[in-house]
Structure 1
Amino acid sequence: MPLARNISRTLVSCSCIAAFLYFFTALSEYLNLHDLVPSGLSEPSTTYTLRSRDESTRVFRQDLKTTKFLSHAPGFSVVENLYWRNYTYYILTDQPWETPHLRYFASLSFDTQKTEGTLGILAAEIWAIRGDPIAPNVLDKDPQFGTSISFDEAVKKFGKAIELESPMLINDDDNFVNHMYHWIGETFIGAWRIWSSYAWRTGLVLPDFKTVAFIRQWHCAEKPEGHGAGDCWEDYPGANKWFTQKFFPGIKIESRTDWEARADTLQIYRLPLVVIADRAGGHNGPFSAWKPWGDVFRLPVMHDWLTQLRDRVLAGYTGRVNLRPKDTGRLRVMYLERQEHGRSLRDEDHDRLVEALEQLHKERVVDVVIETFTSAIPFADQVAKISTIDILIGVHGNGLTHTIWMNPGNDKAVFEMQPAACTITDYSPLAVAAGVQHYMVHETTFCHPVDCPQRGCTDHENYPDGINSDDIRVTPSVITNEIRKIAQRAAAMH
């Protein structure tokens, strides 16, 4: 009996506790609801939701593909559902104020020359899905806010656009691309930066490009009679073609021929996912500093964005260069000389520089190699050689594009020699982007990029050829003394 009474008391106690918790919870919810009720009302208001059941909503979300800029910096854009017709991009949106300024997005040309057949054609147009103006004096005059189009008109105009394969990379420029630096070191590297920034910002695993389109250049083999090499996308040594096909195995490369055929159809095409690289748009950027990637290089990316690029290019390499040279414990220095080209050092200064570098090698301060890159050396071997180098020395020129294959680090450096009267910042930003220290050498001094004079050449009386001088002077100790310091710091770290 005592046991039964104890059990009964326990059950009663538990029931009381449960009842108390139930009423306490109910009271709390009631009081919380009353906090939302305006003064004077005795009952809580109903919670309302809003959802469109209009059929046009389904069509807008599923059938009509509107344009969205997923990532952008002047000159370089990642765009979803971009439309194209007869060399004009169409941006279809119900939010035109979210579109980047058109002068930063696309243009017909970099230097105001007009590609044959495109005179009078706008580079890009915004088509804004919206209603009529609320007053008669409101006109659609500003192209940045678009031409008004009703929803039904948008469906009719864009709803059946022909879809192209994506992702696609488009080079939207008709100048300079047949040059290793301007394609690999400017246009492509800017596009790779915006694509890498998009990956960093979203955390998405981005697919490889299916197509690279040079919409304003021909393949050299199909170039019409009367057009020069500048109207092709390939360069004479073959670097552009090798790099593009190596970086994108199996890539489809389209040319002006393909896009002129599309233009002739007068059809609207839709690009589901595309990266647009436009040099003029980059030059128009507020922080361009005379180069197309001045703004895009400032976007955040993963730290290995360029080493990933280098590793892809070197994947499967079977050439003559040893990608893992014997570790001597010393930094590897390359002087990439170009004495047989128009832009070069004064002969006696070249000889003195070689002698001073060889002295460093004899003292085992660093390991030094003297190289000359010509079209006879396969581009794959050139990339491979630079990938093993810690310090690169060269006169301002195409070979310094190779900076992007170097490893980043505090003991990595590029010494670029220019006439004392010139500061031409074509290659120093590549070094900065690659995480390599850049030295602009001016005869008896050097400067780092942020401390160098403003871009340009002065003293035309004493330097009539400017940056293209074949009489560039240099004091070798300006370079070799700094190399000694870099080597000392590297040795102390290890």
Structure 2
Amino acid sequence: MAPFTARIAIPAILAPLLVFTFLTHASLNDKYDINHHIDRLSGGRFGSTTTGGIRKQIYVPESEYPETEWINGVAGFNYFHNLYLTNGTFLIVTSNPDSLPPGGVNTILSGLSDPNDRYHNHHAAQEDRMMVVTPEEAKERMLLRKAAVRKTGVSMFFNEVREGTMSSFLGHYFHCEMFLGAWRVVTSAGESELPSRIMYRAQAPDWRDNARITTWFQQSVLPETLVEESTIWEDREKSQMTFLFDKIAIADRWAAHRAGIDVKYWNKANADLPKLEVPINWLDPLRDQIKRLVIAEGCEVKRDDPKVPVVVYIDRQFTGRRLVDHDAKELLEEMNKLHEEGVIEFHDAVMERLHRTDQFCLALKADIMFGVHGNGLSHQLWMKPGGAVMEIMAVGGFARDYAILSEMMGHEYHAVHYNTTLPREKWTRPDGWAIGQNEDFHSARITVDGKWMAGKVRAMAKARVGVVEPRLPY
């Protein structure tokens, strides 16, 4: 046993000497330095970071500070490259302030509301939240530190917070306004990189929705994205450091309402988002993530029969806003007839009774989706390209919530009033304001003609026989 013990002991003694020799050699060799070796051994993470295949220094000296660029946006949703943050204040450092949107900070970021204002109006952010300065002014006023900590990748910052008894609207996944707006403004710049971090000024109880679908989405669909809550924001604010965000989308609901164009007519923060031009496949990076997830769980996202379009009915008959019983029964009978005839593959989906992954799997399969106005219609985001949506509403009323999503997605959309569709020109009054919701809009007295719906579905299905599920890029 002695010789065997000796063979083990000798490498154990030599190991530290070999490491010392390696480091000594590294310090003496003109071609290499110790930082190079450690950087290589650590995967390139020693004092630098890699994003998009390009290595960037984590710590940026003042002499190398880049100027801020406003890339694109609409009121409430803006995208920047090289935005600075010091002491909780965003700094737009630019020699050309005219390159910013015409409304300036007013269209980008908001301050808190006046507690004495019963309408809770939010004014544009003051210099404690956002400043526009030239590089010279930033240096003269010592607004930035001598070095900045770089935050690489795409960041998404949501400015809403609870104010007194008034909650933000972040805790409502199904409206998807803020995140979807941040993503759209990124893709409008021709970029499709999934976010590296999601930043909330709000505390966790305020942005987490009751159904926990927001957290499910973040942890399952964006598993590598950092979710930074208000405590992280406070830590940065008190760190006495400057942070440089390579790419950052800022979403601010109140800026959209204050400075938006169509927003005021619809009372929807995302009403101007369709004005941003994006590629037809702008949502594919997110849809593909969901697709990979549901396939891993065993979901089949393709049609049962390649030539039979999939129709998903978002069934709300167990909720307060629903169809009258007779019409609900007739609607199901007519859809089942189409299914038995082989015209459609029909799914009667009570979403709240399905596992989350199953909900999203069904949405991915859908060619046509319809239902009474409600949260479930947000699932149209994950339908195949070229889908169709029919939203059933009480006759005489209209809300544009899911029509906006359809427009952003390029879906065929119909607002259904019993046995007719409400054309776009009738969504508004002559003065441009929305016709709004009526007494029965949220009631259990909503009506629809099942036979008429079957005729619409038949025609839509015929037009989509040749549609196929897109392949994953990898």
Q: What is the TM-score with the length of structure 1 in the denominator? A: 0.71
Q: Given the superposition, is the C-alpha separation of residues 164 and 179 from structure 1 closer, same or farther in structure 2, using an over 3 Å criterion?
A: farther
**Aligned partner of 1:166: which letter?**
T
Does 1:170 find its partner at 2:138? no
Q: Secondary structure at the match of 1:408?
A: coil
Unaligned runs of 5+ residues in structure 2 are: 1-59, 162-167, 469-474
Specify the alignment match of 1:189 in structure 2.
180
- Residue matched to 2:218: 244
Is the CA contact (8 Å cut-off) linking 1:320 and 1:381 kept in structure 2? no
Cα shift at 1:82? 1.9
C-alpha displacement at 1:432, in angstroms? 1.9
- 1:394 to partner: Cα distance: 1.0
CA contact (8 A) 1:438 1:449 kept: no
Matches of 2:388 and 2:61, distance apart in 1: 53
Gaps of 5+ in 1: 1-58, 131-148, 201-205, 221-230
Which residue of the partner structure matches residue 452 of structure 1? 427
Q: Which residue, 126, 130, 137 being the options, matches 1:124?
A: 130
Q: Distance in 2 between matches of 1:328 and 1:60?
A: 58
Q: In the alignment, what sits opposite 2:19?
A: none
- The answer (yes or no) to whether the contact 2:110–2:254 under 8 Å persists in 1 is yes
2:375 aligned residue (366, 379, 398): 398
What pairs up with 1:272-311 in 2 under 5 angstroms? 272-283=246-257, 284-288=259-263, 290=266, 291-311=268-288
Q: CA deviation at 1:256?
A: 1.1
Is residue 334–residue 454 contact of structure 2 (8 Å, CA) maintained in 1? yes
- Could you tell me how far 1:240 is from its partner in structure 2? 0.7
The 1:112–1:64 alpha-carbon spacing in structure 2 relative to 1, beyond 3 Å, is farther
Q: 1:386 aligns with which of 359, 363, 378?
A: 363
Shift of 1:162: 4.3
User: Is the alpha carbon distance of 1:473 and 1:123 closer, same or farther for their aligned partners in structure 2, counting shifts above 3 Å?
Assistant: farther
Taking the aligned partners of 1:119 and 1:295, their CA distance within structure 2 comes to 21
Paired position in structure 1 for 2:146: 160
Alpha-carbon distance in 2 for matches of 1:431, 1:458: 19
Matched letter for residue 442 of structure 2: N
Q: Assess if the C-alpha contact under 8 Å between 1:335 and 1:392 holds in 2.
A: yes
Amino acid across the alignment from 2:67: T
Matching of residues 134-153 of structure 1 within 5 Å: 149=137, 152-153=139-140
Q: For residue 316 of structure 1, report the CA deviation from its aligned partner.
A: 3.8
Matching residue within 179, 182, 199 for 2:172: 179
Any runs of at least 4 consecutive aligned residues in structure 1 with deviations exceeding 6 A, and if so which?
Answer: 118-121
2:94 paired with 1:93? yes
How far the C-alpha of 1:157 sits from its partner, in A, is 2.1
Give the paired residue count.
Answer: 388
Whole-Å separation in 2 of the counterparts to 1:483 and 1:471: 23
Match of 1:219 in 2: 204
User: What is the CA-CA distance between 1:68 and the residue it aligns to?
Assistant: 1.6
Relative to 1, partners in 2 of residues 1:62 and 1:261: Cα closer, same or farther, differing over 3 Å? closer
- Counterpart secondary structure, 1:333: strand
Contact 2:312 2:362 in 1 (8 A): no
Q: After superposing the two structures, state which structure 1 stretch, 280-289 or 59-68, moved more.
A: 59-68
After alignment, is 290-299 or 392-401 more displaced?
A: 290-299
SS in 1 for 2:91: strand
Counterpart amino acid of residue 372 in structure 2: V
1:166-210 C-alpha deviation (Å, 9 max, x unpaired)? 33111122311111123xx2111111111111126xxxxx64422
Using the size of structure 2 for normalisation, the TM-score is 0.73
> Aligned to 2:189, what secondary structure does the other structure show?
helix
Is 1:270 matched up with 2:244? yes
Q: Secondary structure at the match of 1:303?
A: coil
Aligned to 1:426, which of 388, 401, 405? 401
For residue 112 of structure 1, report the CA deviation from its aligned partner.
6.3
Query: What's 1:486 paired with?
Result: 460
Give the letter aligned to residue 272 of structure 2: D
CA distance in 2, matches of 1:320, 1:64: 49
CA shift, 1:280, in A, is 2.2
In the alignment, residue 173 of structure 2 is paired with which amino acid?
M
| 1:322 aligned to which of 283, 290, 300 | 300
* Pair member with larger Rg: 1
Quote the offset at 1:335 in angstroms: 1.1
Q: Which moved more, 1:67-76 or 1:448-457?
A: 448-457
**% identical aligned pairs:** 26
> Could you say what the CA RMSD is over the residues aligned between the two structures, in angstroms?
3.1
Q: Measured at CA, do residues 285 and 123 of structure 1 come closer, stay the same or move farther in structure 2, by a change above 3 Å?
A: farther
